[in-house]
Amino acid sequence: MTIQIKQQAVPKGKDWWEWSVWLEGAKKELEGIDHVVYTLHPTFPNPVVPVTNRATGFRLDSSGWGEFTIYLQIKNKDGSTSKRRHYLKLIDSGINMARSNQKSGKLSSAKEPSRRTVFVSGGTRDLDAVHAVREALSGQDVEVVGPQDVKAGQQWQGTVSDMIARADSAVFVISGRPNLWMNEEIKAAIKVGVRHILPLVIGANVELPDILRDINAVRVENSSDVANITETILKQSLGRK
């Protein structure tokens, strides 16, 4: 499917934005879509919004103050459904910028930043290893996020879910049986289709949970060895060869 998700965001002052999300693609593909169901952040009064207007690319117009992940169910006329997600970034889409640049003869550029996001998590016994991984990744111009970044007053589960949903990669440090929280994080990463998932296993006899059995893991004897394989972690977590 060559359908792409596009967005537009316009600042309205006092941290308030008007934004839109829609689909773009070949005419034949768009004609094959019956409707799109958008699922917004649960703080919206009506978070589940079906849109049937094909002429606008099934455009959804709304407004708010915060960034979040929008989940889409694209319902096709043949009865099939495809699921997509889009992280709504509240950055000026360049409409006003484009107009001013046209006046000055410059070409506008409204591309989103290419900086990648990596989610890193581990159990309480693996804090040193988690810290080592975060340090290695932070020096590679990537945004490193994880449960320890949840701030006081934020809803823990929802915040972590949003981190995973917008992550390009996820590193899970495992030195024993993952706890309930990490199991949920792993399931969430697989469910939303995180591109690169890397289990970092500490201990020769530690087994991967069944849900990760088909994913290549990196193994070390103990947490102090993590610093010696940072290059391997970088390559595999960022999808580099």
pTM for the complete prediction? 0.52
Domain spans of the chain? 4-104, 116-237
Q: Are 157 and 176 in contact (CB under 8 A)?
A: no
Residue 77 has pLDDT above 90, yes or no: yes
Architecture of domain 116-237: 3-Layer(aba) Sandwich (3.40)
pLDDT digits (tens, 9 = 90+) for 197-229: 999 998 888 888 888 888 888 888 887 777 677
Residue 82: pLDDT over 90: yes
The mean of the pLDDT values for the chain is 81
Residues 233, 133 contacting (CB under 8 angstroms):
yes
pLDDT per position as a tens digit, 51-72:
999 999 999 999 887 788 999 9
Element (H, E) at 38: strand 33-39
Q: Are 167 and 118 in contact (CB under 8 A)?
A: yes
Helix (H, G, I), strand (E, B) or coil at 167: coil
The confidence score (pLDDT) of residue 137 equals 80
- Considering the domain 4-104 in this protein, what is its CATH number? 2.60.40.1970
pLDDT, tens digit, 9 for 90 and up, residues 148-198: 888 776 777 778 888 898 888 899 999 888 888 888 899 988 888 888 899
